[in-house]
Amino acid sequence: MASSVNKAILIGNLGRDPEIRYLASGQPVASFSIATTEVFNDRNGSRQERTEWHNIVVWGKQAELCNQYLKKGRQVYIEGRISNRQYEAKDGSGKRYRSEIVAQRVQFLGGRGGPGGDMMDEPRDMPGGLDMPPPPEDEDIPF
């Protein structure tokens, strides 16, 4: 039996176009955010919506494909692990903390006329699932 599990599964819409960068090694890394919305009734029976924003990081060939096909508003399925890291603020004001989902699987959702435009008719699995090489150390991350 596994001693621990770190897995996140999200379906949401991109809040911005992916931003791709390349490490000194040439390895691509893309980042973007997605929104998930929960709809519920409060104690008074009124319908409420709560939107959560999630920072997504994608490595390797998947990063390049996300950059090529995903656009703001497009619906996407993300499967990955939760990562928390700390870094120094650029303005020197101290440590900052960031939570993100490091994607291991990305699937484009929606089709023609659906969220995100007409890039593909069917959902598309991205290559490089669980056999992806581990991402570089946090110090190598350019953002």
The model's pLDDT over 8-34, given as tens digits with 9 standing for 90+, comes to 999 999 999 999 999 999 999 999 999
Q: Is residue 3 part of a domain?
A: no
> Which of these, 50, 59, 24, 81, lies nearest to 132 by C-alpha position?
59
> Which of these, 34, 141, 53, 33, lies nearest to 96 by C-alpha position?
141
Domain count, the chain: 1
Q: Is residue 137 part of a domain?
A: no
Q: Is residue 135 part of a domain?
A: no
Q: What is the CATH number of the domain that holds 96?
A: 2.40.50.140
Q: Is residue 79 part of a domain?
A: yes
Residues 6+ away with beta carbon under 8 Å from 113: none
Q: Model's pTM, two decimal places?
A: 0.73
**C-beta separation of 22 from 87 below 8 A:** no
Q: Is residue 2 part of a domain?
A: no
Report pLDDT for 138: 52
Residue 37: burial class (beta carbons within 10 Å; 0-12, 13-18, 19+): exposed
Q: Is residue 141 part of a domain?
A: no
Percent of the chain with pLDDT over 90: 66
Cα 136 vs. chain centroid, distance in angstroms?
17
Q: Is residue 134 part of a domain?
A: no
Report pLDDT for 136: 55
**C-beta separation of 126 from 62 below 8 A:** yes
Report pLDDT for 141: 55
Q: Which two tokens stand for residue 40?
A: 């519920």
Give the domain range for residue 96: 8-125
Residue 97: burial class (beta carbons within 10 Å; 0-12, 13-18, 19+): exposed
Report pLDDT for 118: 37
Q: Is residue 133 part of a domain?
A: no
